[in-house]
Amino acid sequence: MKLGIIGAGAVGATAAYAIALQGQVREIVLVDRNAALARAHAEDISHAMPFGSATQVRAGTAADLAGAGIVIVAAGVGQKPGESRLDLLARNAEVFRAVLGECMAAAPDALLLIASNPVDVMTGITQRLTGLPPGRVIGSGTVLDTARFRDLLARHLGLSPRSVHAYVLGEHGDSEVLAWSSARVGSLTLDAAADQLGRPLTDAVRAGIDEAVRRAAYRIIEGKGATWFGIGGGLARLVEALADDDHSVQSVSVMTPSVAGVSGVPLSLPRVLGAQGVLSELVPMLSEAETEALAQSARLLKDTLEAVPLAPL
């Protein structure tokens, strides 16, 4: 499969590197308005391929996306220290209008994987601009937040993160919902596993994990200006799921007909991914408080999306 990546900044380049090393696609084309940056990243990543895979990595223009099965959109302006993801909306919406027109002209059949922040709203904007079926416009959503949640739970329990099944729902941002009540370790509830392992999840532990997940991006941005390794790995996993048609469950964002009493909203839920995009969704059992928090997150995202006047491309 041929993969296109629009935007060769930190996120796009790191995703290209992670995907190429794992050999998930035959070819990666990096496209950026800064052509020299795209060429430099493509050459640098290519030099790592003798140690990893046979994936070919090159720079190109939007026209070179022709034939791509998946296009990652990581274009846009970066998040500033202290800036919320939603503050990015007005600046990135205009970038997308230009980018998507070129992308759809070259690769009209591609699945679109959106990575630019605020990712949920940008996913909704992309779907509205292109008119594509919602299942073909997939935001990275809370795939990274979910990874953070699992990592911190696993650290507390002394387990591998791969043995922890927990999801973050809603917005990839301040209103996200950590679904504690549906989290599982093996076949056990989270509390039962924690008790058996002698590592109970006290209120203080839960509050610490919640804060660490919710504020992770802000801490990383304060320290180094942006996040890229975590989301690069997350995008690589999503490309694997789509390219391999593996029907795995991932917490991604798509335009959702109805959730928690809110209709027509882009947000993350656990969803089954395959070669055609999002195949179905699996809404976890939630507590009353979690359901209300998800509804609040959904209302926030819907109100923000609807405040942006858009016409199709």
Q: Catalytic amino acids?
A: 172
In Å, the largest CA–CA distance within the chain is 58
H or E element at residue 119: helix 119-130
Q: How far is residue 146's CA from residue 163's CA, in Å, rounded to a whole number?
A: 13
Spatial contact of 73 and 126, defined as CB atoms under 8 Å apart = yes
The count of residues in the chain is 313
β-pairing, 184-185 with 164-165? Answer: antiparallel
Angle between helices 203-214 and 143-157 (to 10 degrees): 150
Which residue is listed with tokens 């650290």?
155
The DSSP code for 42 is H
CB proximity list for 255: less than 8 A, separation 6 or greater: 123, 124, 127, 134, 137, 264, 265, 266
Spatial contact of 242 and 111, defined as CB atoms under 8 Å apart = yes
Q: How far is residue 188's CA from residue 201's CA, in Å, rounded to a whole number?
A: 14
